[in-house]
Amino acid sequence: QVQLVESGGGSVQSGGSLTLSCVASGFTFSKYYMAWFRQAPGKQREGVACIDSEHSATYIDSVKGRFTISHDNAKNTLYFRMNDLKPDDTGIYYCAVRPADYVGGYYFLPYEYNYWGQGTQVTVSS
């Protein structure tokens, strides 16, 4: 059974940085997508960044140049380095996994992912 556990959230001021981690257990897929989603109060969950098992990453426009998604296969850990944080980045951040038969695109919709972590809160104050 796949389990995902996020950590690293917190409260920072605008312009600050945080690094989120997501440790995966029970993970045996050779091809997959992993992603970070976020959900602000009163808003729908949105995909922010996606990376595949070939380490190809895709970002939404609002975080390009500020956020970096990466994963360490040896540690079964997904990372999310967030720089120059803004109040609009506030929300609960979730990691998610989608097993795949092949990779070559990207997925940003919640229903496209099979496994989810419990989330970690990120709060950015102005």
Using one digit for the tens of pLDDT, what is the confidence trace for 3-18?
A: 999 999 999 999 999 9
Query: Which residues are CB-neighbours of 102 under 8 A, at least 6 positions away?
Result: 31
E-strand ranges in the chain read 3-7, 10-13, 18-25, 32-39, 46-52, 57-59, 67-72, 77-82, 91-99, 115-116, 120-125
For residue 19 the two structure tokens come to: 């690094």
Question: How many Å apart are CA 44 and CA 82, to the nearest integer?
Answer: 21
Cβ proximity of 43 and 106 under 8 Å? no
Average pLDDT value for the chain: 96
What digits encode the pLDDT tens for the residues 68-94?
Answer: 999 998 999 999 999 999 999 999 999
Report how far residue 50's alpha carbon sits from residue 27's, in angstroms, rounded to the nearest whole number. 17
